[in-house]
Amino acid sequence: MPCRPSGRAWLRASTTTSCSATRFLLGGGSAVAPALSETYRAAIGVPITHSWGMTEISPVGAIGGTRTQHRDATDDELVAVRAAQGQPLPLVNLRIVDVETGRELPRDGQAVGELQVAGPWVAGGYFRVAGDGSFTGDGWLRTGDLATLDAEGYLRLVDRMKDLIKSGGEWISSVELEAAISSHPGVAEVAVIGRPDPRWMERPVAYVVLRDGSTATADELLDHITPMVAKWWLPDDFVFLPTLPKTGTGKLAKNTLRDSARIA
């Protein structure tokens, strides 16, 4: 029987389905939760790894996954590598810069800055649009992503600049918080946004879709993620929904959730 993914039913049946021809599975558009990647690895022997790109770079910029240098890595180290967006394709140049000063930051896997990209097939501008700040003075495309780069060139996206939550003067990554919440076995989907707060400026709120049959509560999810994140990262509220709003391309429509949070 060929290996033909068709949702969770296919994943449950994978033990009787031959996936021997599968070499890799790439995810893109939004972050793949490590828990989801590891579920696929346990079921069919192949994890979901990342890719990253934009229409403006025609369109793939980096491909994730492990390489030969990781053959002796520990299980935890391999999970971290597979969670990265990967190494850039040939002739795709990446750098990260300080958001405020524009100074290029070191490739140490720790420094977080705005991701910028340049290359022969990277767009140099937008049609009939000029001076909107999308490109630097030296011609690099500003992606709007916050990221790290390590010594091996691995790109790890931290968050979209517009999706970061600023609470009490400190930044909270919605992507990392979503990954922690989605690791609960009862969670099917999650989106975290910043809700306006009179004291802290913003506080995180998690919108959660539970798996069929799950009875997970807000207290249970809070207990689950408490050991994983800083105390001040913990969401002020969990809102349970039957579905999350999506864009026409299937991405989470966080603007819709922000609008509803401001109204509420």
CATH assignment of the domain containing 178 = 3.30.300.30
For the residues 236-249, what does the mean pLDDT come to? Answer: 93
Measure the CA–CA gap between 53 and 85, rounded to whole angstroms.
9
Residue 237, in any domain of the structure? yes
Burial class (CB in 10 A: 0-12, 13-18, 19+), 198: exposed
From 141, 160, 179, the end of a domain falls on: 160
Residue 11 one-letter amino acid: L
Q: Is 14 a residue whose pLDDT tops 70?
A: no
Q: Cα 103–129–60 angle (5° rounding)?
A: 65
Which segment, 66-75, 233-242, 251-260, is predicted with the most confidence on average?
233-242
193 and 246, same domain (yes or no): yes
Residue 2, in any domain of the structure? no
Contact in structure between 194 and 207 (CB atoms under 8 Å): no
Instruction: Name the domain count of the chain.
Output: 3
Q: List the structure tokens of 116.
A: 């910028």
* Higher-pLDDT residue of 59, 249: 59
pTM above 0.85, yes or no: no
Going by C-alpha positions, the residue among 160, 186, 188, 184 that lies closest to residue 174 is: 160
Instruction: State the pLDDT at residue 189.
Output: 94
For the residues 111-115, what does the mean pLDDT come to? Answer: 94
Query: In the chain, pLDDT over 90 holds for what percent of residues?
Result: 66
For the residues 135-144, what does the mean pLDDT come to? Answer: 94
Which structural domain, as residue segments, surrounds residue 199?
A: 165-263
